[in-house]
Structure 1
């Protein structure tokens, strides 16, 4: 596709979740249909760390089941970098599991910055974010 389409409401919810969790990293899932993210799933960071995250697997399984019930697909995974740039760390790159977009919300400046990437076999490709009305 070359880009990720996100409904403005889901985008705002993702950024808000990341800001609420600061100084810790926040994480979550993004789902939708027809290639457009329409829903943000806030997932608890079991690491409770400002420099790493691990998603609560019970919440992930529940979210994936609910996505299936609503005929939605997993389109993205997000997490925040409270004190660094919106670029995947080596850890982020090495722990890619799903073939989807990976979004990073950087909170190291006054205004949050969000970047999206496709990561395949260690190769990191930036992809534009297209916001669409909710």
Structure 2
């Protein structure tokens, strides 16, 4: 069960993988799913799963529902959960209106990376309030 997250622990190697994914498919948005564990108000990322942007768009992304279901099954088999969603933006790293719509039904941590610059921020929409989430690298 997802709860309010204040910190997200992410390995630098995983962050570099996300950045490389965003650079590789730029100018399209690059999505990924983060799985791991949540303890209290801290989410820890154990694995990054790079996904295809089915929209093939620079301003939106969709992940194939079959692929998404397999990711959820994998997390469940490993006693983990989806803790975050990553995607790149061609604009500043802030949620778009479309992001906000999907954040309300997917209350994970959302990491947004601005491309091509690589600036990033993490957010969680919790109780209809957008909160910044601190990323701690290890």
What corresponds to 2:83 in structure 1?
Answer: 75
CA 121–93 in structure 1, closer or farther in 2 if over 3 Å, else same: farther
SS at the partner of 1:19?
A: helix
Uncovered stretches (5+) of structure 1, i.e. residues with no partner? none
CA–CA distance in 2 between the matches of 1:9 and 1:108? 19
**1:16 aligned to 3, 20, 42, which one?**
20
TM-score normalized by the length of structure 2: 0.86
Deviation at 1:38, TM superposition (A): 1.8
CA RMSD of aligned residues (A): 1.4
Q: Number of residues paired by the alignment?
A: 129
TM-score normalized by the length of structure 1: 0.89
What corresponds to 1:28 in structure 2?
Answer: 32
CA–CA distance in 2 between the matches of 1:38 and 1:52? 26
CA contact (8 A) 1:93 1:122 kept: no
> Deviations along 1:33-52, whole A, 9 cap, x unmatched?
35310211111111000111
Report runs of 4+ in structure 1 exceeding 6 Å deviation.
none
